Amino acid sequence: VALLAGRYTDAVLLFLALAASELFVQATKLLVARPRPPLEDARIVQTGFSFPSGHAALAAAFYGTAAYLLARGARWSALKVFVGSAAALLVVGIGISRIYLGVHYPTDVLAGWTLGVFWLAVIVLTEHVWAVRAHFHLPRLPVRLPRAVIVAVAGVLTLVSVGYLAITYADIPPPLPEAAQTTTVIAPAEVETTVETRLPHYTEGLTGRLQEPVSLVFVGTRAQLEQSFHAAGWTEAQPFGFNAVLGGISAALGQRGDPAGPVTPSFLADEPNALAFNLPVGDTFAQRHHVRIWSTSVQTSDGQPIWLATASFDQGFELAHNTWLPTHQIAPNVDTERAFVVSSLQTAGDVAQSDTIQLVPAEFGYNFDGDPFFTDGQAVLITLPTAL
């Protein structure tokens, strides 16, 4: 609408408000890695991390910028007060709705508002200090559109948006009754069938986009997992957080190794990976083998939990295609890495039994960062020695 009205500077500022706050929110989510509130308290299911609230941040940045641009050109003080108050109420309402829906903690929303207001201040200062009006010009439309056309387009877009929201949120269910997660016990012979029919097969990125399928299944306790990988020379990765990321950046810039360097979290059934292991290649942080492992609520009758995992090889650094943040680039052949993990554990004598199952069809896809991968869709089921 701003473009149709010939207000090109306003359009650029609105775009910058959204883009900058979105990138900052996603980076902060990865650094803090706070899980969502318990699913039984939620009215809708939302994937990804919880802190800060992206809805609260984007609302404060976008509607705050829109209100600033509208109020700046208003002639009457009463209109300026009305625009500012309406925007503030909208931002507050959006933030409170995230708590009501059970997808954010109150502190997530407060942090989101803070980030949004920060970027609003940056946008306002950008216009004043760098004089965007004086330096940014786009060619005007060959025909000046009448105000009635602009208002009609805005009205149609508003109706489409309201209709979409009405359809999407027409039936928000009440919170589920609170219930503790129960463990499903199966016979050892039922592990393969259970993995194929009852457990999730695909991992997800921060935004819920499907990624690599599960390629490894472990049967054993957490202590057995840790001891098996340590015996094979692997190092458990630090939990993803601010200090761990700073350590990884320092190792990358200094061309030093970081065997316990963090692994970007992935999700399986809305849960981040519980464990990750690294096996560096050379003396730097650039190349490494790594495995992400998720716990499940299933265990065998002899007390052995089932774990799902993916494996990939970091072949160097890149700027992610989707976020433009520095990260590792994975090698596309994830099947080779699956075979390497199995061989590594077998060489260390930490595999009691291994079987291969066809879990998903062969496919080609992309991970959260936009890196391509291909796989035959098979998964290796590894039973760990109980004598560890």
Catalytic sites, residue numbers: 55, 104
For residue 253, give the nearest of 286, 281, 280, 278 by alpha carbon. Answer: 286
- From CA 359, how far away is CA 309, in angstroms rounded? 13
- From CA 375, how far away is CA 203, in angstroms rounded? 14
Within 13 Å and on the Cβ side, how many CA atoms surround 197?
A: 5
Sign of the four-CA dihedral 286, 322, 121, 124: positive
Torsion angle of alpha carbons 365, 366, 371, 377, nearest 10°?
Answer: -50
Instruction: Please report the beta strands in the chain, taking only residues with DSSP state E, as ranges in sequence order.
Output: 184-186, 202-204, 210-213, 216-219, 235-236, 267-268, 271-272, 275-280, 288-300, 305-319, 326-330, 353-358, 363-366, 372-375, 378-383
Write out the H or E segment, with its range, that includes residue 28: helix 8-32
For residue 274, give the nearest of 320, 305, 233, 251 by alpha carbon. Answer: 305
- From CA 288, how far away is CA 188, in angstroms rounded? 33
Q: Where are the alpha helices (DSSP H) in 47-146?
A: 54-73, 77-100, 106-129, 132-135
For residue 351, give every residue at least 6 positions away whose Cβ sits within 8 Å of its Cβ, in sequence order, or none: 228, 342, 345, 382, 383, 384, 385
CA angle in degrees (0–180, nearest 5) for 307-309-314: 155
